[in-house]
Structure 1
Amino acid sequence: MNDQLILTDLFDNEIGHMSKEETHRSGRLHRAFSVFIINDGKMLIQKRNKNKYHSGGLWANACCSHPRYGEALTDSVRRRLKEELGISCEFRELFDFVYFTEYGEELFEYEYDHVFLSEYTGGFDFDREEIEELRWINFDELKSEMLEEPRKFSSWFMIAAPKVLKLISER
């Protein structure tokens, strides 16, 4: 929680930095990223560790985090893929979006989220403090679960995943 996050305006221009804890307690807009990993018609999703400070026990994309102040976005993606999943892989940015979620009176996610896609076929050595469970899920099954049980998924996943699935289907 002591990492310095990059504060941005609505157009992702850097306007300062602040500790991760203070950023989330004050509800300041900051830079973040979400990595989606696919393979053979399936998407890798993670169940966040139930002890995470927000969204614990919810399903989300394979990896998500924040670049640290002074760290390039792609460098932070590589770092977190290694730290969270124990992998190195190629990825490309698909799109970005801004979202706001309130988790209580003093905890907010207000992120300028960059969404990346990777096609990966290897194994994982994931960090159990971050991730409770990993699961490959067929695209159609994922769509059905998202429609029928949206509360099982993180707020940012519910925004980004349909866009990722649509882009995948169009290629």
Structure 2
Amino acid sequence: CFYPFYLFLLMSVTGDNFIQLFLGWEGVGLASYLLINFWFTRLQANKAAIKAMLVNRVGDFGLALGIMGCFTIFQTVDFSTIFARASAFSEPHHYFLFCNMRFHAITVICILLFIGAVGKSAQIGLHTRLPDAMEGPTPVSALIHAATMVTAGVFMIARCSPLFEYSPTALIVISFVGAMTSFFAA
């Protein structure tokens, strides 16, 4: 399962649009499930793998909604086109209407993309899968916790930073959640 893990990770890193990023993102989640459940005859390994999969689904749902929001606003999922058009949509008259309330479109998209990163990077609220993920073999734990999967969310935020710079509210939310995670982890 290491090779598919790296294949999907490369797919998410080298993709030039949100669809390729999302397919690689989902593949990394599936491969992590399989790696955590390496000793499938152990009940604790099964429970840990299911928990990791469910927690990842929360973040994946946020990422999927963010991608749909990007397509709704920008009519494309290509990174370069979205980043080129982002300045035109940064004005307050571009919004999503939900329950008769207006929400700035770029801010909603950025926060939804950030929810995806929170799920993958195990930030506060979606961190509960990490201790259980130790049920897999030691190289798997190192791979998931330190090397790749947890940093995939950071990569996605960095990849989408030209979009995030047009939403000061989303940047404040990211700073707050990151600070709270740091304090909680210390």
What is the TM-score of this pair, normalised by structure 2? 0.24
| Higher helix proportion | 2
Larger radius of gyration: 2
Larger RCO of the pair (alpha carbons < 8 Å, separation 6+)? 1
| Higher strand proportion | 1
What is the TM-score of this pair, normalised by structure 1? 0.25
